[in-house]
Each structure stands twice: as structure tokens, then as C-alpha cells.
Amino acid sequence: MMFDNLTLPIKNVLVGILVILVLASIIVQTLKRSKPQMNLAEVSARINTWWVMAFVFAAALLFGKIMSIGLFAFMSALALREYFSMASISKEFQSIKIWVYLAIPIHYYWVYINWYGMFIIFIPVFMFLFLPGRFVLAGQVHGYLRNISVVQWGLMMSTFCLSHVSYLITLSHKTDLTASGPGLVLYLVFLSQFNDVSQFLFGKMFGRHKVSPLVSPKKTYEGLAGGLMVTTLLASLLGPYLTPMNLGYSIGSGVLISLSGFIGDISISAIKRDVGIKDSGSLLPGHGGILDRVDSLYYTAPLFFHYIYYLYY
């Protein structure tokens, strides 16, 4: 049965997410009827998209390792496509893209076979050295530094960093059966996304002092503090329930996810601000593109992975 790979704590948290989405949908529909003058189109679009994303993510966990890894490989390809639409490279180097996209299935294959050694060096070592060599063979000098930097950063971010989420799926604790890979993925993704929402809401309600007005004018210290508080509290509750972490390590992971998620968010904002666009795409109504939705995971995924990996695995 496809449900057999999920422990009871994971099923309970998934049900909890379902309840949150149902309540959010009811609240929005109630406000639409009672206060028709309110513009809730964007909020409604965001919630509808959350339903789709939650369904896809839950399905990936339910159908196991291959489905989960395949989902994140597909997300990496979509994110890289959006990235190249923003940070374009010169036409003389366009042929290099085929090697960048080819690296995605190869890299996720190392995840699938659980080859940690190759997983951890394939992109930051082999592809890092191969791509500049391929650029040189293109025979072009003008724009070399800018173009290779754009390509290297895009591959690291969209594939290497994001793939750490899928590698969590392969982890299995030696003694704690509740600390399975799907539980770790659910813990990381849920906290990363909830941290984004919490920072947004606290910033809307209490935001006064901007963190980096030139990069992301809506990001405030009040929003950051609120997100940190809520995410750390949730981490302390869910950590011992979904992962092998005790209370102390769970609190540490909450702080790590909240702060690093904020940096990931504004890092993508800096790219968009640099090229003069608001959203990376329009694939997810109310949210923008894939990059807009997984930006925090670019930082939280590798940092949380190594935090938990070296503690328990």
C-alpha cells in the first residue's frame, strides 16, 4: 500500500495542513460574502495554489522515493528555466545550456542511488570545472566572466541546493523509525513555507523598520522577528515528533531555518531587483513562479540537511 511508507506522525501533520487549508478557504469565502468591497483576489489565488502545491507534495510523499526525487528534479528544471529567463546569458554561449540541463538528471541519479560522495561533489567540483572549460572551447572571450558566473550560480542554486530536500528522503535512522526521510522532508518544507507566511503576516501587521529597503522594501525586522518566533516554536513542537532531534536541537533547527530562509528569500529578490522584474514567472497564481516559491529552500535545504545529517546520520 502506498500509505505504508508514511508513519503516523507524518500522516497527522498532513491532516493538520489539510485542516489549515480548509479553514483558510472558509475564512476567505466568508469575507467575500460579508465584505464584498474587500479585494481578496490575490489572497484567494494564493490559497488555491497552496491547495495544488500541498496535493502534489503529499502525493510525492505517498508514492515514495522515486516520485519524491522525480518531483524535485522537475522543480529544479523549472526553476533553472525561470532563472535563465531572468539572468540571461549571451547568445554566443547559449549552447552551454544543454550541459547545465543534462546535469540535473545525472545529479538526481546520485540522490536516487544514495551515493553521498558523488552527490556532494558532482556539481560543486566536476560541473564547476567542466563548464568553464566548455565555455573556453566556445572560443569566445567577451562576457566570459559574467556568463560563467550566471551559469554556475544558477546550477548551484536550482539543482545542488534544492536537491538536498530530496536527499533527505533517502535517510533512514538506525533506531528511530519515526525519523524517516519523508518526515524530515515534511518538517523542512513545512517550516520553510510557514516561516515565509509568518514573516509576511507579521511584517504586514507590525512592520515599521525595513531590513534592506533597496532589495526588498516589504521585509522588516518586525516580520523577521515574528517569523523567527513562530518558526522556532513550531520547530520545537514538530522536531521531536517528526525527526530524531530532541528539544534543544529542534529549537536550533528552527532558528537555522527561519534566518537562512529569510536570506534565501531576499537573495532571489536581489536578482529580480537587479534585472527589473517583480516575479520570476506566472506558473503559480498569487505566488509568481517556482523560484518565488522555493527561494527560501535554496538556503534552508543544504543547511538543514547537513545540520541533521551530521547530528544523526
Q: Is 106 exposed, middle or buried (0-12, 13-18, 19+ CB in 10 A)?
A: middle
Q: Which residue has the higher pLDDT, 57 or 130?
A: 130
Q: Please name which of 301, 292, 279 lies closest in space to residue 192, comparing C-alpha atoms.
A: 301
Q: Please name which of 239, 258, 257 lies closest in space to residue 248, comparing C-alpha atoms.
A: 239
Question: Residue 20 pLDDT more than 50?
Answer: yes
Whole-prediction pTM: 0.89
Residue 212 phi/psi, 5-degree rounding, is -145, 80
Q: What is the pLDDT of residue 141?
A: 73
Rounded CA separation 132/149 (Å): 9
Question: Residue 52 pLDDT more than 90?
Answer: no
**Beta strand pairing status for 216-220 and 210-212?**
antiparallel
Q: Please name which of 1, 52, 62 lies closest in space to residue 186, comparing C-alpha atoms.
A: 62
What is the rounded average pLDDT of the residues 300-304? 96
- Among 140-149, 186-195, 244-253, 262-271, the range scoring the smallest mean pLDDT is 140-149
Rounded CA separation 101/127 (Å): 11
Question: Residue 187 pLDDT more than 80?
Answer: yes
Q: What is the pLDDT of residue 237?
A: 94
What is the rounded average pLDDT of the residues 175-181? 61
State the chain's maximal CA–CA distance in angstroms: 65
Instruction: Identify whether the C-beta of residue 183 lies closer than 8 Å to the C-beta of residue 243.
Output: yes
